[in-house]
Amino acid sequence: MKRPIFGGGRTTIPWGVVATFVKEAMKDSGWDIQLCRTCFGGPRAARLVSAAAMPPKPTPGLNEPTPPDGPVDFGATGTQFVWWAYQGTHDFASDPGKPQKQLRLVAMIQDPSFMMIAVKADSGITDLRDIKEKRLPVKVATLPQGGDTNNAILAYYGLSKESLASWGGKLLENTPEAQEERKNPDVLIGFGVFARTEYEPWINYSQTYDLHFLEVPKDLREKLIKDYDLQEVTVPEGLFRGDDRAMPGVGRSGEAVYGRTDMPDDLAYTLAKAIDDHKDLLQWGIYPLSYDPKTVWKCFGVPLHPGAARYYREKGYMK
């Protein structure tokens, strides 16, 4: 198993950035990491590692490289997805064989993003409640990485595909057929950070249109924190054009490098050490990643792999 397969993603999405970093960090370790660039998609990424599945075939039109030949051994995805897969909740509540108690954390790399809500400045919308109360025929786009969190926000405001359509509005699907309409939404909801990764729509929309950013109400913030394992943060002023004030909000941070209980102890130990030894490389990527010794070994309630735990104890990062 000296050529284990790492499920990451394309080079311009967060998990792909982590995959590139891991391969570089491990290049002199004796382990030749094989990258699966088709192993992305939030819940799907966690399912691939959980099941030791074969890598997906390239998606037509995305110019993805041919994936490695063999089952996925370990990978990277958002910490919430690993935690929910481990518990069998949220996106994984209906999965067969849940919960995935065989998952084990190796390292958690910080990557902050903020939940953002924005409307076109000339829409007259000052609160998303206006849409239902005034039956505004607006086009609403949500960013795919928000998943159930986006749906919870829509539900809070009484918005859905059906309700919007009933008064002439539209919830824009994230499908190839809807991509042209998605270039010009009236309302945008989703996690955001200034990086040309999967969060690129925030950059494009804020540069193309005059946007007004809305504060997430306190009771909605509390619900998102409780139900979706987010944390209360301050959304900084100037994150995007039109973001002209700091606001209380919610965010998430964490890309988990993780495997299963069948990961060899020496691989987990070497991986944890290599990530620590080469953490300086994180600052040179296209995405704001960082390493914190106080949190690198934490992913909600997902158990730490014994090999990784041995390394962090030797370093004094954990007791």
Numbered ranges of CATH 3.40.190.10 in the chain: 5-111+253-315, 113-252
- Is the pTM of the predicted complex or chain greater than 0.85? yes
Domain 5-111+253-315 CATH class label: alpha beta
Which CATH topology does 113-252 take? D-Maltodextrin-Binding Protein; domain 2 (3.40.190)
Taken in order 36, 39, 45, 48, is the CA torsion positive or negative? negative
Residue 54 reports pLDDT greater than 60: yes
Residues 6+ apart with CB under 8 A from 279: 291
CB 39 within 8 A of CB 66: no
C-beta neighbour count of 54 within 10 angstroms: 16
pLDDT category at 252 given cuts 50, 70, 90 is very high
Burial of residue 135 (CB within 10 Å: 0-12, 13-18, 19+) is middle
Tell me, what's the pLDDT at 319? 83
CB 28 within 8 A of CB 35: no
Tell me, what's the pLDDT at 254? 93
Residue 199 reports pLDDT greater than 80: no
Rounded to the nearest integer, the mean pLDDT of the chain is 92
Lowest mean pLDDT among 87-101, 139-153, 196-210, 301-315: 196-210
pLDDT category at 310 given cuts 50, 70, 90 is very high
